[in-house]
Amino acid sequence: MEGKKWKTIPFLEQMNCQCFCSGNLAFIGQSQGHLYYINSRNRDSSILSVWTLDDYCSRQWSFKYNISTSQLFGWTNMRLERKYNLIAIHPDCNMIFYVSRDEGQNTLLSYDMDRGEINSICNIRDPFWNPWDPCLPYVPVFMENRIPPQKSSSFLPKRLGRNLSLGAIKISEHGPAERVKEECKEGHGNIDNAGAGEGEDAAGEEAAPPKEAAEPDLAMLSAKVDAFLAGREADAPTSFSELERATKKRCGGIDGDNPAADLTDDLIVEILSRLPAKSVCRFKCVSWRWRRLISHRDHRKKLPHTLAGFISHYSVPLHDGIVLMPHFDSIDGGQEDEEEHRLVPDPSLSFLPGYRTIFPKDCCNGLLLCLCCKNSPRDESDYVVCNPATQRWIILPEIDRADPVSTVRLGFDPALSPYFHVFAILEHVDGCVSGVEIFSLETGAWSHRENGWGDEDDHTVHPDAKSAFVDGMVNFISYNSAIIAVDTEGKKWKTIPFLEEMTCECISNGILAFIGQSQGHLYYINFRDRDSSILSVWTLDDYCSCGWSFKYNIRTSQLFGWTNMKLEREYSLIAIHPECNLIFYVFRDEGQNTLLSYDMDRGKVNSICNMRDPFWKTWDPCLPYVPVFMESLPDHA
């Protein structure tokens, strides 16, 4: 501010974009103490890139967001400084303000960059408003720098009364205002009328002239306010040690006045066991004691659990070939260091003896279905169902059928039954479904069921297609534009046709859309038939009615920052969170496979990890894992 420091901060090459007639008309602003820069992309004017200087002294730009104009307006052919103008960024959060100009109407809007939410604020009053006209953000300030003393003392009571009225109204939102109000009434009359204009009372009638006895009332009021503030300050820490102790109390480091400090561990676990899994995860953040308590193996059987991570595999080269080993990636910032806290104590599943290769095929509510190739003889394999949390497993008997098996999937819901079921889809020579083999843990055997989906429709299920276990039925995507489902006993068969706008076939593999279960509902996700840059999300809110409900449209620009991305080519949908509207997908770019998540409610993208296997493909497993600590499987220890 003294003209002594001068600074030049060059742009990165990808930050430059020249407007046609006015040069570089990008936006800069200050938010949360950082300098922000926003401009349209040089090669794609439908995307705004947001950059920030996290450290103003280092002059190093950091990329923050990509915002498609389709998110701001619903379509892409919008030019910055032609169709709309950026005018401000909120000083306290990641929210931008812009003016949209359409058919002579100028509308002021806001866009929350974290949540992806748009809000229409108002129409600009001036119909002739142009980009160079002002529309300035205003933050009020009430500092009174060196106000000269007033000559008339009779002005002071009115001035003080007006300020107190405003202050009391503001405080009322935080609780103690009623106490202040009562104290003010005793010392200075009704505080609600203190801010009335000179010569009028609050009802608009002519007020009585001010009395000379106002000064003693003012002194009494001042004394009462000082006493109130002194009482509030009596509990404030007076030294650094007291401040540190108070901070630790609030953070749970010192039990002190914490009501939960008197609860025993068993009582806390009993209370938490009655809560939903999402709430239990949040309570891990209460204190380190609670986090260790919830994560401890001795308490896991009682507590509910939610999505913990993903089970995949990676290739291990040996002297006589390559073998596949299972691998677990946590979504909670990595595995716990202590073995007793690990959700998957042995991610390689080495407790399964005698197998050279273990290939995960399906995972359902904590149980894992694997295809295991024996060490000897090399051409033999078993289907094994195991529980990675308890390290228990069972080997399934062979399927004694002539028809080839196309797809094998697992079904398990501990809320319905302690027994799991395995479904094997059998097919004719022409690839159409001929029947289903169902294995039940309760009987320990396979049972055959003829095709119950009708003879008029020849259904075909892709071997690598996703499945979902909902309401006691396993669901598959059929090539015949429908979802087909069968229950655990093979008695109920269901066909759920798609709506016309839900069907879109991949070029080489037919309908490879995604289905999954979340919050008790069946979800279906596929890209639009006429626009592959948009994913449409549908759900069966009532599974019995078979009526689809549209939920979301997701642009690939929201997932990656650009639009020319093909499902099952550049990325793959792998899961949806069982407790919230969060999808997981793998992005494949230059030999690197990255696991990401997207919050459909807030519009947030989060990078979780890189896939360990550099050769991971679309048909390879990346299975969502929710730990379960039921001991229904045999113990081979």
Instruction: Average the pLDDT over each of 123-137, 194-208, 304-318 and give the range with the smallest value.
Output: 194-208
Indicate whether 29 belongs to any domain.
Answer: yes
CA-closest candidate to residue 558, choices 598, 513, 585, 531:
598
Assign 181 a pLDDT band (cuts: 50, 70, 90): very low
pLDDT recorded at residue 225 = 52
Mean of all residue pLDDT scores within the chain: 76
End-to-end CA distance of the chain: 74
CA separation for the pair 227, 172 (Å, rounded): 19
Last residue of one domain, picked from the residues 78, 103, 123: 123
Instruction: Scan for tokens 């079904």, then name that residue.
Output: 411
Regarding predicted confidence, which is higher, 540 or 376? 540
pLDDT at 405 over 70: yes
Query: How large is the average pLDDT for residues 371-393?
Result: 89
Number of neighbouring beta carbons within 10 Å of residue 343 = 23
Indicate whether 59 belongs to any domain.
Answer: yes
Helix axis angle, 177-188 to 214-233, nearest 10°:
150
Indicate whether 86 belongs to any domain.
Answer: yes
Cα 22 to its chain centre, rounded Å, is 40
Number of neighbouring beta carbons within 10 Å of residue 186 = 11
Query: How large is the average pLDDT for residues 601-617?
Result: 84
In what side-by-side order are the strands of the sheet with 592-599?
571-576, 582-589, 592-599, 604-610
pLDDT recorded at residue 372 = 92
pLDDT at 19 over 80: no
Instruction: Scan for tokens 């090539």, then name that residue.
Output: 479
Instruction: Average the pLDDT over each of 221-225, 471-475, 622-626 and give the range with the smallest value.
Output: 221-225
Indicate whether 202 belongs to any domain.
Answer: no
pLDDT at 628 over 80: yes
| Contact of 80 with 48, CB cutoff 8 Å | yes
Last residue of one domain, picked from the residues 59, 90, 123: 123
Indicate whether 4 belongs to any domain.
Answer: no
pLDDT recorded at residue 74 = 67
Assign 257 a pLDDT band (cuts: 50, 70, 90): low
> Which of 76-85, 112-121, 274-283, 467-476 holds the top average pLDDT?
467-476
C-alpha distances (whole Å) from 296 to each of 145, 179, 284, 293, 632 are 59, 47, 12, 5, 21
Domain count, the chain: 2
Q: What does 77-88 look like in DSSP terms, one character per residue? A: ---BTTTEEEEE
CA separation for the pair 346, 325 (Å, rounded): 11
Indicate whether 391 belongs to any domain.
Answer: yes
Which residues, including other chains, have CB under 8 Å from residue 117's CB and lie 6 or more apart? 111, 603
CA-closest candidate to residue 362, choices 408, 316, 331, 324:
408
DSSP state of 461: B
Domain assignment of residue 73, given as a range: 13-123
Instruction: Average the pLDDT over each of 209-218, 387-396, 491-500 and give the range with the smallest value.
Output: 209-218
Indicate whether 151 belongs to any domain.
Answer: no
pLDDT recorded at residue 400 = 80
Indicate whether 437 belongs to any domain.
Answer: yes
Number of H helices, E strands in the chain: 9, 31
pLDDT at 169 over 50: no
Among positive and negative, which fits the CA dihedral 231, 236, 237, 238? negative
| Contact of 624 with 609, CB cutoff 8 Å | no
pTM: 0.58
Last residue of one domain, picked from the residues 123, 146, 181: 123
Angle, CA 483 vertex, CA 481 and CA 484 arms, to 5°: 120
